[in-house]
Structure 1
Amino acid sequence: MEPGETEFYNRLGIDSVLSAVEDAGHSVSGHCLALNSLENRVYDVGLEEGGHLIVKFYRPGRWTLQQISEEHSFLLELARAEIPVIAPMALEGGATIREILGMYYALWPAQRGRLVEELDEISLPILGRLVARIHNIGASVGAKNRLELTVRNFGEDPLRFLLEKEFLPKPLRKRYEDAARKVFLSFSENSRDVPFHRIHGDCHKGNLIRTEEGFCFIDFDDFVTGPAVQDFWMLLPFGDSRADYERELFLAGYREFREFSDRWFSLVEPLRGLRFIHYSAWIAKRWEDPSFPNAFPHFGTEEYWERETTDLERLAFGLYVEETNVQERNSASESEELTNKDFFWDLN
């Protein structure tokens, strides 16, 4: 991202937002409300003829035009298959992307819906069928430009950034890196022969809404080529007999439309470890954006890195135990039920 683009993006004003919508062919009423989004800039804009739409400005330098186009193509494929997602609006000439001052942006229909707090026994198989249908479309063709969920992209590169930019305190660097290497090894070993295809990539309850018609997945901004289980582990509970029961309900629905091997669940823990590392690097890379220090005031503190290092070590130790077929685990790490709040600092 160029310095001028950074400044404009961080200070994107209402006049620029409304002008962008008008340039895309819509008369605006003047209503413009910034919506909660850290990675991109998203606004609810009122239209002169009534109603409103959503305009999303992509962070400059993050995705190329080709990568954004593949996100939109995937969404349009899903919409054509009558899978409930929110696809971008067609603009002049059929395009879905426009550019203003170095930023790509797109318009989206406003969709009313409620965030999903809990999943009950009726909802789980329904949701399983929906995710399977998304994966069937995802596996139908490949993605040429989107990231693949690999150790390099989601582990080694983020770790290198944290080390080279000296975000990690010196006393914790070796511990953190040693734990990370165990996670990388486990992912590499357990991902052998696991099929990769287009997936949502950031599939948690915050990206799921309930509309009048039923469930609807939103925000495919992080869609990647990866294993199906990546779209399970942040959405479903893990850790006790009740969680196992709920997971089986979900899988019963999923398997009506698509095969899934229980062996692929061995990727859950290394995927969780990659998430730890990637998420910290994501915050670090955005630290010059004024919204990030405000959103993550604890980031970079000794307490933060001590917690991150300890959690990564516990996870790496668990992977080591599994690989050597030893049954005893650290009781503290086993007793806590995992939720979305374990993976997203901003939900705490």
Structure 2
Amino acid sequence: METMAHPYQHLTPDLVLDAVEACGYAVNGRLFPLNSYENRVYQVGIEDQKPLIAKFYRPGRWSRPQLEEEHGFVAELESAEIPAVGALPMPGGGYLADYGGFTLALYPQRGGQAPDITLPDTLFRIGQWLGRIHQVGARQDFQHRPTIDPVRVIDEGQRYVLDAGFVPDDLVAAYRSLIPDLLDAIRACQERAGEVTIQRLHGDCHMGNILMREERLLFVDFDDARQGPAVQDIWLMLSGDAEEQRWQLGELIEGYEQFNRFNPLECHLIEPLRTMRLINQAAWLAWRWDDPTFPMHFPWFGQARFWSDHILMLREQLANLQQPPVRPPGP
């Protein structure tokens, strides 16, 4: 039986170069793939200019209106003089082009390193910029991009990994029995948080998506932009034990509130969002398993050790969900 080729198997180096040239740039033949799994991203050499970054979106993931909303949001941020790295305008208008069955965007090359969050001033400054980003995000809603919903994401993800047979047989019962308890605990956290403001967000604002360049912060990769609570763009920067996270949250919120009010009740959503991310990351690997690069780079995903560790982390999360949330230090 013949196996169907994955769409990215048709994304050859020649197609990449031809696509960039069709966008009006004289390529010099230099091509370097960058670390990206969901999409395909390349550094492309340009004659007598700095290289460009070409991003080829995964077919079928986002609709055209959803992609346009991402780029429109980043363009708003740039217009507000917020250091977000947006795509370059295309000759025909907009920020997207189509070539060879793929949709692509081109970006200026921006270097930098991950910020040093051990420095209080760094977290404070990140918080300031997030406050500005959310000011812009609150101006209007996304009409096509989804809204963060931990209960729905967890339910869909766990159903897929179970139905597709990714969880080893001897661990299915343990995994399946955890999910209702996690969802009940998440609903209880959401009730304690009450009604929170939902707005446009970066969506995946971890330290890998923030660059420090010559003391200037740059926010990159808005591919996961969506509607959600402000704390979604904050909690991903928390690490370490409870006391460390409390200090980090305090620095971030102090900077954030220079430009925007933070609702402290949203802290009740941190552990639900963390649980959602844990389950969604496993489901993401399962959803993408037909892409040959995933079994190549994540061979441990199909092993029982991964799932036993995953279940252990989810049990720890159940305990975390039942504890008081991390909060910034009081006055």
1:132-159 alpha-carbon deviations (Å, 9 max, x no partner): 1111111111011112111354211111
Matching residue within 231, 234, 258 for 1:232: 234
Query: 1:39 is matched by which residue type in structure 2?
Result: E
1:190 CA displacement: 3.0
Instruction: Compare 146-155 and 263-272 and name the one that shifted more.
Output: 146-155
1:275-327 alpha-carbon deviations (Å, 9 max, x no partner): 1110001001111212111221110211110111111012113324559xxxx
Cα pair 1:26 1:47 within 8 Å, conserved: yes
Find runs of 4+ consecutive structure 1 residues off by over 4 angstroms. Answer: none
The change in CA–CA distance for 1:47 and 1:271 in structure 2 (over 3 A counts) is: same
Secondary structure of the residue aligned to 1:266 is helix
Instruction: Compare 176-185 and 23-32 and name the one that shifted more.
Output: 176-185
The separation in 2 between residues aligned to 1:287 and 1:193, in whole angstroms, is 37
Secondary structure of the residue aligned to 2:8 is helix
1:266 CA displacement: 1.2
Matched, 1:172 2:175: no
Structure 1, unmatched stretches of 5+, are 324-333, 335-348
Query: 1:296 is matched by which residue type in structure 2?
Result: F
Cα pair 2:32 2:42 within 8 Å, conserved: yes
Cα pair 1:180 1:316 within 8 Å, conserved: no
Matches within 5 A, 1:164-203: 164-191=163-190, 192-203=194-205
Instruction: Compare 165-174 and 49-58 and name the one that shifted more.
Output: 165-174
The separation in 2 between residues aligned to 1:19 and 1:139, in whole angstroms, is 39
The separation in 2 between residues aligned to 1:189 and 1:97, in whole angstroms, is 42
The equivalent of 1:73 in structure 2 is: 72
Matching residue within 263, 288, 293 for 2:290: 288
Matching residue within 238, 248, 251 for 1:249: 251
What is the TM-score of this pair, normalised by structure 1? Answer: 0.87
Cα pair 2:151 2:186 within 8 Å, conserved: no
Question: Over aligned residue pairs, what C-alpha RMSD do you find?
Answer: 2.0
Matched, 1:313 2:312: no
The change in CA–CA distance for 1:177 and 1:139 in structure 2 (over 3 A counts) is: farther
The equivalent of 1:269 in structure 2 is: 271
The change in CA–CA distance for 1:115 and 1:251 in structure 2 (over 3 A counts) is: same
The equivalent of 2:33 in structure 1 is: 34
The separation in 1 between residues aligned to 2:178 and 2:230, in whole angstroms, is 25
Query: 1:294 is matched by which residue type in structure 2?
Result: M
The equivalent of 1:105 in structure 2 is: 104
Q: Report the count of equivalent residues.
A: 321
The separation in 2 between residues aligned to 1:205 and 1:265, in whole angstroms, is 20
Cα pair 1:147 1:153 within 8 Å, conserved: no
The equivalent of 1:330 in structure 2 is: none
The separation in 2 between residues aligned to 1:207 and 1:250, in whole angstroms, is 16
Query: 1:42 is matched by which residue type in structure 2?
Result: V
1:185 CA displacement: 2.8
Structure 2, unmatched stretches of 5+, are 327-331
1:118 CA displacement: 3.4
The equivalent of 1:345 in structure 2 is: none
1:166 CA displacement: 1.4
The equivalent of 1:278 in structure 2 is: 280
The separation in 2 between residues aligned to 1:83 and 1:321, in whole angstroms, is 36
Cα pair 1:237 1:247 within 8 Å, conserved: no
Instruction: Compare 256-265 and 174-183 and name the one that shifted more.
Output: 174-183
The equivalent of 1:156 in structure 2 is: 155
1:73 CA displacement: 0.6
The separation in 2 between residues aligned to 1:320 and 1:241, in whole angstroms, is 18
Secondary structure of the residue aligned to 1:149 is coil
Matched, 1:22 2:21: yes
1:175 CA displacement: 2.4
The separation in 2 between residues aligned to 1:186 and 1:141, in whole angstroms, is 31
What is the TM-score of this pair, normalised by structure 2? Answer: 0.91
The separation in 1 between residues aligned to 2:322 and 2:113, in whole angstroms, is 40
Secondary structure of the residue aligned to 2:38 is coil
Secondary structure of the residue aligned to 1:225 is strand
Matched, 1:7 2:6: yes
The separation in 1 between residues aligned to 2:116 and 2:149, in whole angstroms, is 30
Instruction: Compare 202-211 and 110-119 and name the one that shifted more.
Output: 110-119
Matched, 1:134 2:137: no
The change in CA–CA distance for 1:246 and 1:276 in structure 2 (over 3 A counts) is: closer
Cα pair 2:185 2:321 within 8 Å, conserved: yes
The change in CA–CA distance for 1:285 and 1:177 in structure 2 (over 3 A counts) is: same
The separation in 1 between residues aligned to 2:279 and 2:56, in whole angstroms, is 26
Matching residue within 225, 230, 238 for 1:223: 225
Cα pair 2:128 2:256 within 8 Å, conserved: yes
Query: 1:164 is matched by which residue type in structure 2?
Result: D
Query: 1:255 is matched by which residue type in structure 2?
Result: E
Cα pair 1:180 1:273 within 8 Å, conserved: no
The separation in 2 between residues aligned to 1:188 and 1:72, in whole angstroms, is 33
Query: 1:233 is matched by which residue type in structure 2?
Result: W
